[in-house]
């Protein structure tokens, strides 16, 4: 059947159409049909033609009036040309990828192994490693954390002009030394630091310079949101993030390898109050400095600890040695009459003395070339409570001798006053203990001269004396002592007597200005002349007050010490602990107690007044103690 016959529908179907092939002679040119690409090879009615990239080109079998028409082969020159072009393009891309891969390999293996990974001037490399852990207070307030920063470095080989680059960098960072920068940029090293820990604005300033060869590395900068408020406790790190002071140093490995925050026992609210009141006291009395702390009597946790002057932990290099010195932990001092509380407790617990015993304070004691006097002599026989209430050095020396030197020393050792305090700071001073402990040493140590300790030791020992008789190791880590077993040193009977005596000092004795209405404060004043050469400087005092509240069930111990206060008209020129440190204690307690949920009490209520009352007056029939 011919082509035209195939196209004509059968007659009588109702679908007649005009004859596409009217009767005429054969066409004057052959009819060609080119099927589309992709026709499967071997399909009936087709013969294989050319092949291009896997597609077969077929020629149709064409007939005219039933006779096959010869079809010449389709031209293939255009197809072959396309194939050649595709192959050429593919080879070009392959060569380009090989060149790029080779260059990357050369750069990777040719860099110095000490050189940090670098970027273009618009990127920052992430330094590998675990971020240093955060330090928080007991309530989760951040005390130290790390922030990502960019540090500027240079590859001098890529700098087009070292002198111009130096000039523009010094203009951007006036604190840089031009000679030092030029020396770095004109050298032959592959890597030199220019400035570490840039702020985002400083980094943007460098980017705007557009100097080739300058790049950034991402690092971490340690920041301290509380600033100087906690500088002596938290400490600080060096520029590479290694702890070099305070908690940062003590827990350096843990902070560097464990991501969990380190929770300290500090309460930032109480820390702020303590810091502020000590600062105000130093200013008021034109003192050299001061220290203080607040300790939880239940577990030995340090709630607050301050040392002034202090410093900015972000820039400790600019601080003086005195500002970096931690007076609360590293400094050791002869603490004066605050020691009399330990003297009385040791005498009572050992059974060597009774509260009703009487001591001759009518005149100074002379021992060899030493003379022991009272600052404000009563010049009569004093009971033990009166010795503490009036702060009699003469009476305290006799109580210590009554206890005997071996027993007295043993109790001081049990209270941790002759060993370094086991607190988690690298800056902890060791006590200064007599190399030969004789009776004269016992007598002077009884009123706080001859044995130098730090404030942490004092607060910890006092807590055992007036709380439950148990010595809890002082700590700066929250929860550390929760399951700890601590030794009992004093019986409940001794503790109750000491509470009454401590309350007597504030209600009727030298510590009246430490009172905070409603909070039943107790404690002991202390005024120690500072050592000078082979003797003491009578015009340079360390004035302290050691206290606790509320005394019917002591919850917190506080200590404030002021270094070399100067007399003022309001104190009639006096610089004793009762005039200088005691008022600061009252202010601190009044401010901190409500924050800690301690409600005020009616101090005149019978259960409180009678429970803490001790009659200081000498009792008829009381033993008159004669130790000479």
61-75, 79-93, 327-341, 476-490: range with lowest mean pLDDT:
61-75
Q: Is 109 helix (H, G, I), strand (E, B) or coil?
A: helix
pLDDT attached to residue 32: 42
User: Residue 33, class by beta-carbon neighbours within 10 Å (0-12 exposed, 13-18 middle, 19+ buried)?
Assistant: exposed
| Spatial separation of the C-alpha atoms in residues 566 and 28, rounded to whole Å | 131
Which domains, and CATH codes, for the chain? 1-73 (no CATH), 135-264 (3.90.1310.10), 276-309+330-625 (3.40.710.10)
Return all residues near 150 (Cβ < 8 A) that are at least 6 apart: 124, 198, 200, 203, 216, 217, 218, 219
487 or 7: which carries more pLDDT confidence? 487
388 or 88: which carries more pLDDT confidence? 388
**Confidence band for 126, pLDDT divided at 50, 70 and 90:** very low
How big is the CA angle at 18 (ends 16 and 20), to the nearest 5 degrees? 120
pLDDT attached to residue 12: 47
pLDDT attached to residue 479: 95
| Inter-helix orientation angle 162-172/200-209, to 10° | 150
pLDDT at 6 over 50: no
**Confidence band for 417, pLDDT divided at 50, 70 and 90:** very high
Cis peptide before 378 (omega within 30 of 0): no
pLDDT digits (tens, 9 = 90+) for 176-220: 999 999 999 998 888 999 998 898 899 999 999 999 999 998 888
pLDDT at 419 over 90: yes
Find the helix or strand (DSSP H, E) in which 556 lies: strand 556-563
| Inter-helix orientation angle 393-403/340-350, to 10° | 30
pLDDT digits (tens, 9 = 90+) for 489-517: 999 999 999 999 999 999 999 999 999 99
Give me the mean pLDDT over the 404-414 stretch.
98
Active site residue 547: no
| Spatial separation of the C-alpha atoms in residues 382 and 395, rounded to whole Å | 7
pLDDT at 612 over 70: yes
Give me the mean pLDDT over the 601-605 stretch.
94
| Spatial separation of the C-alpha atoms in residues 110 and 1, rounded to whole Å | 79
Share of the chain above pLDDT 90, in %: 69
pLDDT attached to residue 250: 97
pLDDT attached to residue 586: 98
44-53, 298-307, 539-548: range with lowest mean pLDDT:
44-53
Q: What is the mean pLDDT of the chain?
A: 86
Catalytic residue among 250, 337, 463, 544: 337
pLDDT attached to residue 415: 97
pLDDT digits (tens, 9 = 90+) for 68-77: 555 555 455 6
pLDDT digits (tens, 9 = 90+) for 337-374: 999 999 999 999 999 999 999 999 999 999 888 899 99
pLDDT attached to residue 68: 56
pLDDT digits (tens, 9 = 90+) for 143-163: 999 988 889 999 999 999 999
17 or 273: which carries more pLDDT confidence? 273
CB-based contact 523:502 (threshold 8 Å): yes
pLDDT digits (tens, 9 = 90+) for 454-474: 999 999 999 999 999 999 999
pLDDT digits (tens, 9 = 90+) for 512-543: 999 999 999 999 999 998 887 777 888 899 99
Give me the mean pLDDT over the 594-617 stretch.
94
Residue 467 Cα distances to 495, 499, 595, 598, angstroms: 7, 8, 21, 17
pLDDT attached to residue 20: 46
**Confidence band for 33, pLDDT divided at 50, 70 and 90:** very low
């Amino acid at each position: 059947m011919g082509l035209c016959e195939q196209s004509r529908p059968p007659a009588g179907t109702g679908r007649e159409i005009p004859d596409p092939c009217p009767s005429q002679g054969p066409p004057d040119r052959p009819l060609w049909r080119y099927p589309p690409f992709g026709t499967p090879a071997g399909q009936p009615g087709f013969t294989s033609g050319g092949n291009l990239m896997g597609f077969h080109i077929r020629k149709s079998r064409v007939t005219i009036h039933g006779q096959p028409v010869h079809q010449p082969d389709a031209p293939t020159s255009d197809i072959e040309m396309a194939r050649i072009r595709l192959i050429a393009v593919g080879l070009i891309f392959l060569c380009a990828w090989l060149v790029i891969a080779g260059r990357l390999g050369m750069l990777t293996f040719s860099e110095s192994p000490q050189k940090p990974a670098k970027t273009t001037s618009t990127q920052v490399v992430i330094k590998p490693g675990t971020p240093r852990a955060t330090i928080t207070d007991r309530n989760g307030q951040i005390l130290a954390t790390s922030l990502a920063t960019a540090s500027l470095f240079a590859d001098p080989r890529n700098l087009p002009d070292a002198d111009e680059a130096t000039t523009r960098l010094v203009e951007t960072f006036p604190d840089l030394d031009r000679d030092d920068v030029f020396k770095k940029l004109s050298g032959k090293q592959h890597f030199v630091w220019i400035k570490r820990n840039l702020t985002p604005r400083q980094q943007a300033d460098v980017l705007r310079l557009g100097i080739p060869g300058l790049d950034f590395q991402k690092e971490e900068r340690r920041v301290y949101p509380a600033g100087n408020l906690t500088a002596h406790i938290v400490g600080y790190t060096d520029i590479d993030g290694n702890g070099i002071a305070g908690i940062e140093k003590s827990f350096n490995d843990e902070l560097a390898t464990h991501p969990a925050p380190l929770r300290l026992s500090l309460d930032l609210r109480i820390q702020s109050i303590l810091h502020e009141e000590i600062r105000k006291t130093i200013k008021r009395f034109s003192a050299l400095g001061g220290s203080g702390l607040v300790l939880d009597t239940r577990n030995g946790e340090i709630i607050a600890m301050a040392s002034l002057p202090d410093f900015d932990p972000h820039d400790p290099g600019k601080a003086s040695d005195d500002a970096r010195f931690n007076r609360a932990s590293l400094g050791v001092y002869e603490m004066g009459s605050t020691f009399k509380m330990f003297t009385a407790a040791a005498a009572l617990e050992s059974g060597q003395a009774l509260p009703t015993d009487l001591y001759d304070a009518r005149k100074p004691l002379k021992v060899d070339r030493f003379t022991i006097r009272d600052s404000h002599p009563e010049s009569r026989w004093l009971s033990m409570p009166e010795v503490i209430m009036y702060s009699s050095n003469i009476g305290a020396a006799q109580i210590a001798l009554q206890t005997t030197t071996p027993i007295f020393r043993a109790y001081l050792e049990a209270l941790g006053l002759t060993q370094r305090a086991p607190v988690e700071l690298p800056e902890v001073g060791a006590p200064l203990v007599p190399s030969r402990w004789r009776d004269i040493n016992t007598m002077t140590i009884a009123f706080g001269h001859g044995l130098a300790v730090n404030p942490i030791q004092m607060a910890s020992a006092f807590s055992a004396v007036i709380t439950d008789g148990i010595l809890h190791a002082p700590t700066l880590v929250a929860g550390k002592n929760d399951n700890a077993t601590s030794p009992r040193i004093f019986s409940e009977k001794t503790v109750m007597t000491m509470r009454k005596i401590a309350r007597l000092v504030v209600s009727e004795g030298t510590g009246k200005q430490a009172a905070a209405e409603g909070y039943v404060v107790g404690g002991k004043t202390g005024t120690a002349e500072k050592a000078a050469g082979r003797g003491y400087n009578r015009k340079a005092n360390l004035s302290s007050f050691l206290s606790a509240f509320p005394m019917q069930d002591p919850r917190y111990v506080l200590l404030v010490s002021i270094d070399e206060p100067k007399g003022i008209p309001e104190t009639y020129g006096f610089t004793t602990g009762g005039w200088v440190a005691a008022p600061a204690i009252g202010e601190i307690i009044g401010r901190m107690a409500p924050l800690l949920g301690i409600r005020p009490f009616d101090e005149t209520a019978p259960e409180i007044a009678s429970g803490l009352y001790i009659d200081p007056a000498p009792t008829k029939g009381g033993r008159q103690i004669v130790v000479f």
